[in-house]
Structure 1
Amino acid sequence: MKEKVSIDIIILSYAKDEHLKNLTIQTIDTLLASEDPEKIHFNIVVVESNKSLQPYQFENAMTIYPAEKFGFHKYLNMGIKLTGNPYVCLCNNDLIFHKGWATEILNAMDNDPVMMSAVPYCPNFHKKEGFAENAPPLEGYFGVLIGWCIFVKREIFDTIGMLDEKFVFWYCDYDYSNTLEKYKVKNCLVSTSVVTHLGSESITKVDSKEHRKLTQVPRFYFSYKWHHHSYIRYKAETWLFKIKMALNL
């Protein structure tokens, strides 16, 4: 990597309270401290779900407040479309970026031009799952791939299209993984790149009814899309679930 590289960083944030707001700030701060700004420029876009925070702007980032209802893929697509650099990183707001994480992925992609998608090593996940740190890039899909920090070449979207916005929250990473596998797009775990995921803290702040909606509805669509369940079954399952939600069953 000889020339300065610009990377678009799309961060989905739900700063419903000060703790979650500070998580986003910490993510940005550790990101900016992780690389030499003379070599790597991070163009940061925060897609904020807490519209009451508007017009607040996170420092060193452009913060947008979509009028549209939250959707994990929908909000990521907004960030992707707002930016134009050759590399894009799709991020949660509860990350700690370690020194040189981006350089390691860029070097891996330079050494293997076929690699279009990569994920960094998370000590809280990959180590527990038995993946070795500082190992050669490991090709793989679901299980290797994690959904909270995905680094891609922008040209990947010319092959796979934009992210499927029917997935609102759960199954987003599974859908992305299956899509890469479908189009034979190479994804690797770059275990010399380290980004710690602190845990899904934002989801714990929603009420139980909203949590059920975010986590259960996508299951029906995922089964229809990838397991070839009938469209009638998919619609019926969704309809019955919504009735149960309305009746608080």
Structure 2
Amino acid sequence: MIKAEKDNTNVEFEVLLIESNKQIHDSAFQFPDYVKVIIPKENFNFHAFLNIGIKASTGEFVGLFNNDLIFKKNWFTEILNVKKKHPKVESFCPVDYDSKFTPKSFFKEAPYLFGYKVRRHIVGWCIIAEKKLFKKTGLLDERFSFFYADDEYSLMLQKYNKKHVVVAASEVSHLESKVSKELTQKKSAFFDDVEIPEKDIPRYIFTEQNRWMLVRKKLLEGHIIFHKKWGSPKMVAIKSKIGRIFMANGLGFLNKYFM
């Protein structure tokens, strides 16, 4: 689908695959010539692998993608159209209308929306950013190996006074909800293979409302890392709210010190 976009526009794509399967070249599968495969020595870490791609890329924009996406025609062209209207914006997301989080009614007929809500404005499976953004914010925090990566990106943008846009006409289909039950079970087992000392678990996790996280160990690990960095859930909500007020009133530069 990326190749189809390239053939119909003036956009040039550089496709980098950061592959966690170290035996991929032993299989019979052959990647197209335009795909550059990079196999890191370390085990899978979402942010670490994305950082490898960011550093290896040569274009003005970088796409931070999951490996289960179908790109609709002109998806990136629509993002560039919004970029032309808002030259200072450096972060964008497309939309998947099959997702329960972003139905077409979400836009209320607006062509795009500014915001930082995870799964609404920021969908971590497909983020487009200008490469220069990371010169201001630094590379992605590699303590986030998978869970809470979206939340981390949202607060990072707010801290550094960077606006983010989700674009209604830029469509990408995320196949996560369509994977088989067997693959889902294997994925769950992989992500929950971690031990967390009880002393490191916040007391509120043991309440009736939150104790479900105790059986999702990898998710809980991400939760703990995220809130150690940014503050308690209540503090994160306060910081984000005040930070958005600062940005709306031209004081977003203060967020670097406040957040």
- TM-score tier by shorter-chain length is 0.7 to 0.9
Residue deviations 1:63-103 (CA, integer Å, cap 9, x gap): 11110121100000001111121111111111111111111
Classify 1:34/1:51 alpha carbon distance in 2 versus 1 (closer, same or farther; 3 Å). Answer: same
**1:176, 1:35 → 2: CA distance?**
28
Q: Residue 35 of structure 1 contacts residue 102 of structure 1 at CA under 8 Å; is this kept in 2? A: no
**1:122, 1:133 → 2: CA distance?**
16
Q: Are residue 225 (structure 1) and residue 225 (structure 2) matched?
A: no
* 2:191 paired residue number: 211
The offset of 1:215, in angstroms, is 2.5
Classify 1:96/1:112 alpha carbon distance in 2 versus 1 (closer, same or farther; 3 Å). Answer: same
Q: Are residue 69 (structure 1) and residue 43 (structure 2) matched?
A: yes
Classify 1:224/1:127 alpha carbon distance in 2 versus 1 (closer, same or farther; 3 Å). Answer: closer
Classify 1:209/1:78 alpha carbon distance in 2 versus 1 (closer, same or farther; 3 Å). Answer: same
The offset of 1:37, in angstroms, is 5.5
Q: Are residue 58 (structure 1) and residue 31 (structure 2) matched?
A: yes
Match of 2:113 among 115, 123, 138: 138
The offset of 1:204, in angstroms, is 2.1
**Highest CA radius of gyration, 1 or 2?**
2
**What is the one-letter code of the residue matched to 1:206?**
K
Alignment of 1:96-111 (within 5 A): 96-111=70-85
Structure 2: where are the runs of 5+ without partners?
A: 195-217, 234-259
* 2:144 paired residue number: 167
Q: Please give the secondary structure, in 1, of the residue aligned with 2:135.
A: helix
**1:91, 1:159 → 2: CA distance?**
21
**What is the one-letter code of the residue matched to 2:165?**
C
**2:74, 2:187 → 1: CA distance?**
38
Residue deviations 1:123-173 (CA, integer Å, cap 9, x gap): 122544842386322000123111011011111001111000000011001
Structure with more strand by fraction? 1
**Superposition TM-score, scaled by structure 2 size:** 0.71
Q: Are residue 78 (structure 1) and residue 52 (structure 2) matched?
A: yes
Classify 1:210/1:129 alpha carbon distance in 2 versus 1 (closer, same or farther; 3 Å). Answer: farther
Q: Residue 35 of structure 1 contacts residue 100 of structure 1 at CA under 8 Å; is this kept in 2? A: no
**Superposition TM-score, scaled by structure 1 size:** 0.73
Q: Please give the secondary structure, in 1, of the residue aligned with 2:150.
A: helix
The offset of 1:207, in angstroms, is 5.6
**May I ask how many residue pairs the two structures share in their alignment?**
200
RMSD: 2.3
Q: Residue 17 of structure 2 contacts residue 36 of structure 2 at CA under 8 Å; is this kept in 1? A: yes
Residue deviations 1:164-195 (CA, integer Å, cap 9, x gap): 00000110011001100111101001111111
Q: Please give the secondary structure, in 2, of the residue aligned with 1:34.
A: helix
Of residues 167-176 and 55-64 in structure 1, the stretch that sits farther from structure 2 once superposed is: 55-64
Structure 1: where are the runs of 5+ without partners?
A: 1-29, 230-249
Q: Residue 94 of structure 2 contacts residue 171 of structure 2 at CA under 8 Å; is this kept in 1? A: yes
The offset of 1:42, in angstroms, is 0.9
Q: Please give the secondary structure, in 1, of the residue aligned with 2:23.
A: helix
